[in-house]
Amino acid sequence: MEKKTYTITSSEGLHARPCSLLVSAVTPFQSDVTIGYNGKKANMKSIMGVMGMGIESGAQVEIEADGADAAEAIAKVDEIMKQENIGE
C-alpha cells in the first residue's frame, strides 16, 4: 500500500475541474485508490464520491493506493496535483 498527504492549494478547493482531472487520472489503474479527508474516505475513481466530501482550499487530504500498480497510481496523482496547481 502506498500513501501520500497533500494540502489543497486550488483556490476553489476540489471543485468540478480539479476533481475531473484527478478522477480521470486514477481511473485507468487497477489499484483501489482512495482519498481521505476529515476522518472519511472516498473512492477516488468516483467523481461524486470525491466531490461529495466537499474538500475546500487549505484542507489536508490523504491519498492511498492499494494494488499491483499502487506506486504508479500515486506517481500519477502527484504529477496532476503539481502540474495543475491543485495541491502540494
Partner 1 sequence: MTSQLTGIGVSDGIAIAKAYRLEAPDLTVEKRSIDNPADEIARFESAKSKAAEELEAIRLKAAENFGEDKAAIFAAHLLVLNDPELTSSVTGSIEQGVNAEFALQQAADTFTAMFESMDNEYMRERAADVRDVTKRLLAKLLGVHVSDPSAIDEEVIIIADDLTPSATAQLNKEFVKGFVTNIGGRTSHSAILGRMLEIPAVVGTKTAMDTIEQGVRVIVDGTDGTVLIDPADTEVGTYEGKKEKFQQDKELLNRYVSEATTSSDGQHVEVGANIASIDDLPLADKNGAEGVGLFRTEFLYMGQSDWPSEEEQLEAYKAVLTAMDDRPTVVRTLDIGGDKELNYFSTPEEMNPFLGERAIRLCFAQPDMFRTQLRALLRASVHGNLKIMFPMIATLEEFRQAKQMLLEEEEKLKADGFAISDTYEVGMMLEIPAAAVIADLFAKEVDFFSIGTNDLIQYTMAADRMNESVSYLYQPNHPAVLRLIHNVISAAHKEGKWAGMCGEVAGDPLVIPILLGMGLDEFSMSPSSILKARAQIAGLSKAEWEGYIPEILQMGTSEEIIKFVQEHSK
What CA–CA distance (Å, rounded) separates 5 from 28?
Answer: 21
Binding of partner 1 at residue 9 (CB under 8 A)? no
Binding of partner 1 at residue 48 (CB under 8 A)? yes
**Strand locations in 1-88 (E):** 2-7, 32-37, 40-43, 60-66
Contact residue for partner 1 among 4, 9, 36, 56 (CB under 8 A)? 56
Between residues 4 and 57, which has the closer beta carbon with respect to partner 1?
A: 57
15 classed as catalytic: yes
**Exposed/middle/buried for residue 63 (C-beta within 10 Å: 0-12, 13-18, 19+):** buried
Specify the amino acid at residue 44.
M
Q: Which residues are annotated as catalytic?
A: 15
**Interface residues with partner 1 (CB under 8 A)?**
12, 15-17, 19-20, 23-24, 27, 43, 45-49, 51-52, 54, 56
